[in-house]
Amino acid sequence: MSTKREDGRGPEDIRPIKMEVGVIKNADGSAMVSLGKTVAIAAVYGPRELHPKHLQVSNRARLKCIYSMAPFSTTERVRPGPSRRSSEISKVTRESLEPALFLENFPKTTIDVFILIVQANAGTRTAGINAASLALADAGIEMRDLVTSVAAGKIDGTYTIDLAGKEEEATDCDLPIAYMPRIDKITLLQMDGDMPVKDVKGTIELAKKGCKILYEEQKKALLKKWAKEGLE
Amino acid sequence: MSTKREDGRGPEDIRPIKMEVGVIKNADGSAMVSLGKTVAIAAVYGPRELHPKHLQVSNRARLKCIYSMAPFSTTERVRPGPSRRSSEISKVTRESLEPALFLENFPKTTIDVFILIVQANAGTRTAGINAASLALADAGIEMRDLVTSVAAGKIDGTYTIDLAGKEEEATDCDLPIAYMPRIDKITLLQMDGDMPVKDVKGTIELAKKGCKILYEEQKKALLKKWAKEGLE
Amino acid sequence: MSTKREDGRGPEDIRPIKMEVGVIKNADGSAMVSLGKTVAIAAVYGPRELHPKHLQVSNRARLKCIYSMAPFSTTERVRPGPSRRSSEISKVTRESLEPALFLENFPKTTIDVFILIVQANAGTRTAGINAASLALADAGIEMRDLVTSVAAGKIDGTYTIDLAGKEEEATDCDLPIAYMPRIDKITLLQMDGDMPVKDVKGTIELAKKGCKILYEEQKKALLKKWAKEGLE
Amino acid sequence: MNVQDQYIINLIQKAHRIDGRGLEDFRKVTLEKNPIGQAEGSALVQIGNTKVVVGVKMGVGTPFPDTPKEGILICNAELSPLASPNFELGPPGEESIELARIIDRGIRESKAIDVEKLCITEGEKVWMVFVDIYPINHQGNLIDASGLAAASALANAKMPKLEGDKLIYDEKKTPLPLKELPIPVTFAQIKDHLVVDPSLEEERAMNGRITVSTKENGNVCAIQKGGDAMTMANIEKALDMSVKKGKDLRKLV
Amino acid sequence: MNVQDQYIINLIQKAHRIDGRGLEDFRKVTLEKNPIGQAEGSALVQIGNTKVVVGVKMGVGTPFPDTPKEGILICNAELSPLASPNFELGPPGEESIELARIIDRGIRESKAIDVEKLCITEGEKVWMVFVDIYPINHQGNLIDASGLAAASALANAKMPKLEGDKLIYDEKKTPLPLKELPIPVTFAQIKDHLVVDPSLEEERAMNGRITVSTKENGNVCAIQKGGDAMTMANIEKALDMSVKKGKDLRKLV
Amino acid sequence: MNVQDQYIINLIQKAHRIDGRGLEDFRKVTLEKNPIGQAEGSALVQIGNTKVVVGVKMGVGTPFPDTPKEGILICNAELSPLASPNFELGPPGEESIELARIIDRGIRESKAIDVEKLCITEGEKVWMVFVDIYPINHQGNLIDASGLAAASALANAKMPKLEGDKLIYDEKKTPLPLKELPIPVTFAQIKDHLVVDPSLEEERAMNGRITVSTKENGNVCAIQKGGDAMTMANIEKALDMSVKKGKDLRKLV
């Protein structure tokens, strides 16, 4: 099929990608990821001591993820502070990153991941996961694999990746995944929509393909930072 | 007097009583009490260690009671979460149960009592106290006496027990008590209304009478559970 | 200039002053200050042990200030509980008192200052600081100097002190200061308005003058209390 | 149980109280009317060293759907840490909620305020009456000090003028439509004895507390028991005494 | 990892479960319709020892500006400490928010409720449907118990009568306009095996969880993965099995 | 006092700063205009390694009763733990409230926004202007970075189109009615010396802080002192210097 999308992309094309590592000096690791008009930044602090002490886990680190949207990131202002939506996204984000980490290496500590959506135009949770994964790597925390994330759907009979703008209304489903390409395991999978099992499988397969593209971009961004550090 | 009430009861009749002990497997003790269309369930957890430690009392257990109503328990939906009304009821419930317990036997621990009103049609605090008292006994916590509770009032010149439905509007007062029949002491007493002292005294006396009826039912419910356990 | 003000005062006149020390028996120190129709009371508790322990500072006391307004203190009822305005005033009040104290003398403790505005008619933060300073002295806490506080402005070309009523709308600026007269240092300085730098300086100078008047009243109020205690 | 508690209990068994009062004696009660200029009505009550300010403010709001013709009463109590080392910062706890609700029920159940006269436009606009209770120093028996101050603040309140949608607070003339003065009287059970107006020391040693609010005609309009288990004898004694003590206090309003 | 977790994992590698079930077996499921008199619709579902009550209440409110012709669905779950020693008091945490949102999305995405039929006056007044989920005993797989109970509560709900601005709750006749019954089915990945309807013990030992909600025609309307990393094989297995299991459960509604 | 603080204090007494700046020098300041597509106006300001984004959003709301003809300004600052290991999760604390209120007062008191032009229907509908301040990296002097970014975001903001009750965010043309550009300039008192634009290290060693916001004509529109006691000499120096430094920064907007 050769349907053109509202922004001229083919169905398997991801929006223009920009990734930059090390954008927040104070953080132990940080990154900015933009996909078209969606921009996420992530900061990692830790592993650091966890207070109060009764929250410490004796044999592993606690991973904490907080996803939030800047009030000016959307068409209508978002109220600051946690919402039910942001709480759920924080939870699934944590669960999508945790399998990549060796938390058992840092008993009694906390690793804190803060994600801020600066601009939102669909795909904020996936952009946030991409940024957070880079930030963890930038923090020098050993990982099984980078976690990479994108959403897919099916529009007018065609599996379509990285939905944006009005495509979220036209698609049969909105299906974000997070994926560790080297290990071939899925760490995030959600779906809203209405489609047969067969199509769900097809959509997941396309999303995995998209993740592999983003994976290469993530590695480039890390190399660029490391190269720069090497020069310094 | 022989006034018939809207549900056909005589003035000293309590609504149909159902009591069941052990309804929540996870709890250390639990019970369900229904009086007509009012249904309360209670769970007891503890005595268990109290965290954080600075809340521990060195020479006794802390008793914590939380009364709450399910949003669907009333005609108009109740917002979940504590209200001023539920906070006050939690407090008077705790004070109505505490005199029955030997808290000094469990230093530094907490005994947590959770009451959920599943259906509400008058008399929810008294139903909750009856259920909580059974749940404490079910948890195997030694007690001076069972605490038993009912409200009374005076309608058209007649002392009337266990008000329900529109009787709450017709009565001169709404007077809930909690009572330990064996010890003959009152642990809850509230009153809203407008009546002479003499009538208040009369209403309390009738309420005590009602408590004795419920007391027998409580004992039956416990025996039933214990008999069942004996069989197992 | 000889402009008369709405309440008949001259531009450098402060409203009728009443100060009384020791108004709250439970507190370690307390005071009431009224300036015209503005009435503030302050209570000091401490230095006392700070809980939970992880908030303790090893080499000094923590100073905590809470400013609040009684709901009935204003024309339109104020909602009880902290607001953004009261949080900011609590912060600048703490910073205006702290320089007068030797917090390093009381490691690991807390000194708690509670200010309640009972009647409000302009100048509540400055009245609160005056009361708090007296309460600290009343608590027997050693101080570098009393902190004394008043606001000034410029109305129709005239520097004017202790604005009240509709003067807050007529002035070119509202400029509250807190000042330690003996040490000649400023511990609070805020300004809302629109005026040249030269006028700001002039307004501050007048405010300092006003502070010296209040300073004498503060000392009198303390002496009165101490004299009374001597007699007892 | 500490030494002071034990001492209070020993005394009471000889019918003595720690401050020398008789079992049926209040501490000295004083009442100052309308001390707060900006409030519609206010009162400062002192019972011994206990000091409570109550202010009444009025506003305009929407009636509750089930009482479209009735004004709204809102009672609120703030146990500010200013008043006692035992009070803590934060949202209202059980103790302050209970205090506010006891005062609220006394006013509501005695029909003290003629709420129908507070209707402006049925179903749309009614007067709201806020009763805010602020203890300034807590030395026991906050309930009676608060209840007496609330009754006085309501009795001496003047309503702001309503012009169209605007409230003119400078022109207050009409008194609040008040029909009744409910007065709460509180008793402590110490060991098996009953004392009126417990001081803070007695509250710590008591094993039961009961508050009875009465109307001018002697009828009871609200009861709240707190604390431990009470005997029927003490409850009856409290009921009887509350009428007499309520009459005495009501004279101050 | 504790001993029980290890035991469960060892068993699963021989395709055995701790309670003797087959990998594709649910525990015993029972459903009681409309146990709550005051609710518009309700259900009590038990799956093994897991017990969840769901109640549906209706009210009238203002529509969202972007959907002026549509009624409003609000799902809420309370993980009361009554139901488990692991639940804590306080505002809803991540777990209860996720539970409510999974159920919410199943209903919303399957277009189970005909929300346009819940419009009273366009842009001004619409029906609000509250689905409140209350676990009473948590022994694993709260999602499926909640989803089944929610479907049943909605299917058996009767709307109160609206007279002018007033809701008459005594006269409930018209059923909720329902078009679909979405049923969530949850799987745990233990080691690399997939089991349906995990018990609490299995939830502790699992390294991945996936819920698939399906419609009557077998279409998927919502998915939520939780926990650890899953293989594509297990995800596909879960997708396939959810249709069959969903059909079985739907029969109970 | 730690070693670094002591070092900074020793340096300052020789009129040196830890990063080599002169006492009256700002770090490098850069400003990016409208980096955020979805905001009505936005700016990213960097002062050294301090980085702050400010976004302006607009909506429609009800005016305050006492200013029925005026639009509403709301300033808010979030000190996200993303930006500094010293920031904590949770509701806004004193520091973020103070930051927002300083920026708010500068805008309000200078009458920067012509709020009367933001009235849509008197007493009923007015524009609301939200100024949201988000530090991304905190390395000292958040106030000046926030104030400069806010001024730029307001100056470059375009209002959405209002059609009936609906806001069309795709068609933004009209600029915000802006009359003034208030610029805050912040000074730290270290020992008895005054330095402009304190870095984070200097903030830790300082014993006083003062911010002066000025208008284009050099008038002062807001002052906020923080921290310890200041001498009159330093306050006067800050007042004088703020006008000059404000002029320099205003050129960037």
pLDDT in tens, B10-60: 999 999 999 999 999 999 999 999 999 999 999 999 999 998 888 899 999
Percentage of chain E with pLDDT > 90? 95
Distance CA E246, CA E253 (A): 11
The average pLDDT across F49-77 equals 96
Which portions of chain D are predicted below pLDDT 50?
none
Distance CA B183, CA E146 (A): 44
Contact E98 A200 (CB under 8 A): no
Token readout for E191 is: 């080691």
Show which residues on chain A lie within 8 Å of chain B, measured between beta carbons. Answer: 52, 54
pLDDT on residue A232: 60
Q: Any idea what the Cα angle at residue B122 is, between residues B118 and B128, rounded to 5°?
A: 50
Q: How many CA atoms lie within 13 A of A78 on its CB side?
A: 22
Q: Could you read off the pLDDT of C27-53 as tens digits, one per residue?
A: 999 999 999 999 999 999 999 999 888
Nearest to E94 among A90, A98, A175 (CB): A90
Nearest to A24 among F78, F83, F130 (CB): F83
Contact A41 F42 (CB under 8 A): no
Query: Residue B78 belongs to a domain with what CATH number?
Result: 3.30.230.70
Chain D residues with CB inside 8 Å of C75's CB?
38, 169
Q: Any idea what the Cα angle at residue C37 is, between residues C229 and C119, rounded to 5°?
A: 80
Is residue A4 in some structural domain?
Answer: no
Nearest to B99 among D220, D229, D243 (CB): D229
Closest chain B CA to residue C52: B54
Residue F181 has pLDDT above 60, yes or no: yes
Is residue C3 in some structural domain?
Answer: no
Rounded alpha-carbon distances, angstroms, from residue A178 to A41, A68, A155, D188, E121 = 17, 18, 21, 65, 43
Inter-chain CB pairs, A–C, below 8 Å: 3
Chain B residues with CB inside 8 Å of A52's CB?
52
Mutate to test the interface with B, among D219, D228, D237, D245 (most CBs of B within 10 A): D219
Q: Is D210 on the interface with B (CB under 8 A)?
A: yes
Nearest to E227 among A84, A95, A200 (CB): A95
Closest chain C CA to residue A53: C54
Residue B1 has pLDDT above 60, yes or no: no
Rounded alpha-carbon distances, angstroms, from residue C48 to B52, C28, C60, E249 = 21, 10, 12, 62
Q: Could you read off the pLDDT of F135-145 as tens digits, one per residue?
A: 999 999 999 99
Mutate to test the interface with E, among B15, B26, B116 (most CBs of E within 10 A): B26
Q: For residue F116, give the DSSP letter.
A: G
> A150-184: string of b/e by CB count within 10 Å (b at 16+)?
bbbbbbeebbbbbbbeebbeebbbbbbbbbbbeee
Nearest to F89 by CA among D212, A64, D66: A64
Mutate to test the interface with D, among B59, B88, B102 (most CBs of D within 10 A): B88
Residue A54 has pLDDT above 90, yes or no: no
Distance CA D181, CA D149 (A): 11
The DSSP bridge partners found for residue C159 are: C154
Q: Is C92 on the interface with F (CB under 8 A)?
A: yes
Helix (H) or strand (E) holding F98: helix F94-109
Instruction: List phi, psi (to 5°) of E63.
Output: -70, 160
Show which residues on chain B lie within 8 Å of chain A, measured between beta carbons. Answer: 51-52
Distance CA D63, CA D45 (A): 31
Mutate to test the interface with A, among F40, F57, F72, F82 (most CBs of A within 10 A): F82
Do chains C and F touch by CB distance (3+ pairs < 8 Å)?
Answer: yes
Contact F59 A45 (CB under 8 A): no
pLDDT on residue B230: 75
Distance CA C122, CA A138 (A): 54
Instruction: List phi, psi (to 5°) of C68.
Output: -150, 160
Token readout for F74 is: 């709301």
Min Cα distance D209 → chain B (Å) is 10
Contact F80 A114 (CB under 8 A): yes
Mutate to test the interface with E, among B7, B44, B72, B87 (most CBs of E within 10 A): B72
Number of domains, chain B: 1
Percentage of chain F with pLDDT > 70? 100
Closest chain B CA to residue C53: B54
Distance CA D208, CA A201 (A): 68
Q: Could you read off the pLDDT of E86-116 as tens digits, one per residue?
A: 999 999 999 999 999 999 999 999 999 999 9
**Span between the terminal Cα atoms of chain F, in Å:** 39
Helix (H) or strand (E) holding E152: helix E142-155
Question: Which pTM was predicted?
Answer: 0.96
Q: Is B226 exposed, middle or buried (0-12, 13-18, 19+ CB in 10 A)?
A: middle
| DSSP string for residues in chain B | --PPPTTS--TTPPPPEEEEE---TTSSEEEEEEETTEEEEEEEEEEEE-SSGGG--TTSPEEEEEEEE-TTSSSSPPPSS--HHHHHHHHHHHHHHGGGB-GGGSTTEEEEEEEEEEE-SS-HHHHHHHHHHHHHHHTT--BSS--EEEEEEEETTEEEES--TTHHHHSSEEEEEEEETTTTEEEEEEEEEEE-HHHHHHHHHHHHHHHHHHHHHHHHHHHHHHHHHHH-
Is residue B10 in some structural domain?
Answer: no
The average pLDDT across E111-135 equals 97
Q: Could you read off the pLDDT of A127-161 as tens digits, one per residue?
A: 999 999 999 999 999 999 999 999 999 999 999 99
pLDDT on residue C232: 60
Chain B residues with CB inside 8 Å of C52's CB?
52, 54
Contact C99 F215 (CB under 8 A): no
pLDDT on residue A3: 60
| CATH class of segment(s) F9-250 | alpha beta
Min Cα distance C51 → chain A (Å) is 13
Do chains A and D touch by CB distance (3+ pairs < 8 Å)?
Answer: no
Is residue B64 in some structural domain?
Answer: yes
Is residue A104 in some structural domain?
Answer: yes
Task: Determine if residue A184 is left, alpha or beta; phi over 0 gives left, psi from -120 to 50 gives alpha, anything else beta.
Answer: left
Closest chain C CA to residue F98: C88
Chain E residues with CB inside 8 Å of A90's CB?
94
Residue C170 has pLDDT above 50, yes or no: yes
pLDDT on residue F199: 98
Q: Which residues contact D2 (CB under 8 A, 6 or more apart)?
A: none
Contact F219 C90 (CB under 8 A): no
pLDDT on residue C23: 97
Min Cα distance C200 → chain D (Å) is 32
CA dihedral D133, D137, D139, D145 (to 10 degrees): -30
Please answer whether residues C128 and C40 qualify as being in contact, where contact means their C-beta atoms are separated by less than 8 angstroms: yes
Nearest to C114 by CA among C211, C221, C31: C31
Q: Locate the domains of chain D by residue range.
A: 9-250
Which chains are within 8 Å of B by 3+ CB pairs?
A, C, D, E
The average pLDDT across B58-73 equals 97
Closest chain F CA to residue C208: F232
Closest chain C CA to residue F92: C84
Mutate to test the interface with D, among B74, B76, B197 (most CBs of D within 10 A): B197
Instruction: List phi, psi (to 5°) of F115.
Output: -65, -25
Min Cα distance F108 → chain C (Å) is 9
Chain A residues with CB inside 8 Å of F85's CB?
26, 45, 48
* Residue B57: domain span: 17-228
Closest chain F CA to residue C173: F221
Show which residues on chain A lie within 8 Å of chain C, measured between beta carbons. Answer: 51-52
Min Cα distance B108 → chain E (Å) is 18
Residue E140 has pLDDT above 60, yes or no: yes
Mean pLDDT, chain A, whole residue set: 95
Residue F226 has pLDDT above 60, yes or no: yes
Mean pLDDT, chain F, whole residue set: 96
pLDDT on residue C1: 45
Contact E225 A87 (CB under 8 A): no
Q: Which of A145-149, C195-199, C206-210, F5-9 has the lowest mean pLDDT?
A: F5-9
Q: Is E136 on the interface with B (CB under 8 A)?
A: yes
Min Cα distance A197 → chain F (Å) is 36
Nearest to F230 among C185, C191, C194 (CB): C185
Contact B37 E53 (CB under 8 A): no
